[in-house]
A and B are shown apart, each in its own frame.
Chain A
Amino acid sequence: MTLRRTGAYLLVALTALTFGYLITAQLRAELPVPGNRVVRTEALVRTVQDLESTNAGYRSQISSLRGQIDTLEAQAAQRSDTTQRLRDEVAGLRAHAGVTQLRGPGVVVDLGNGRPGAGATDYLVNFQDIQDVVNLLFQGGAEGVAVNGHRISPLSSFSGPAGTVVIDQGNPLNAPFQVVAVGNRNQMEHLMGDASKLGGLRNRQRALGLALSFQGSPDLTLAPYDSALETRFAQPA
């Protein structure tokens, strides 16, 4: 009796499995076959990911080479006063260009996307928003700024489609964004808290839920600039 019941259960289970398989196979056959567009998009995504990986590798290599050059220059400076004087002068220039690590008090600004609206992309943080925040922080006495860890230099440029920010030769950055500034903390906090500043961002914060907040800190560290600082056309006159 028990054997027969077990056999019946097994039969039901096997039937259910077979039906499940058949239904799944049927549903898959009914679904639209991925078009060329999807396949193309996937190939493009893979290309972007490969290029991003190469990009990160180059920037890491540049940071490492700058460190090695600095060490070799330090050794040369120990043997010559002239080289030592030059090295001191270049150290100051490098600091102003953002090529060296920077530490001090400052402000951390966080930005995030809002709620999707009716088709428009206003709910996304764009490169102009980041640029506005960076400009305001420099106006408030920032001596160094980094966006998602990417240090800003005098040659820095911002670009990118809505929701994506590309800075210099770096990888495309996406929300959430964190802008870290080292410098005059009080003045930067005052400007960031001024409701008359960053009007566009604040309007979209109210209407579309964009995230915008800031916090002062007594001790922040900015990584050195890790991209190319080349001038291909300009030369000293």
Chain B
Amino acid sequence: MRKNGFARHALIEALHTVQSSFGYLDDESIRFVALSLRVPLSQAYGVATFYHYFSLKPPGKHTMTVCAGTACYIKGADKLIAAAEKRLGIAQGQTTKDGEISLMTARCVGACSRAPVALFDGEVVGEMSREQMLEQLERWTVE
């Protein structure tokens, strides 16, 4: 916030910093940012909920993100998501009960030429097969 001179219009920047440090935005940090930048709490909360990139829930220890962009969809990303949901017993956007693995979907990560794409803790893996994905999930679970 200081980097942007506590400018009110740098609200999204500030929330990005919070999320990259803590992994998500909790009520306390949203309140703190709003107060520091002198923006109404409603605006800060509105922004935090409007943009898909911000998460109000803590993520799991590992995060698998399946790209659900058009190119990935055409190449079967929906089947990957369904298989992952079945394997983990959670729906997309949720975290397993033990807090180990979060299953997310992305709108497009821009690696369309290697579709379907998944990110394992931020690392892009292209031409993902169902078996490959389940193997990686297995590795995480064993840990």
Question: Do these two chains really belong together in a complex?
Answer: no
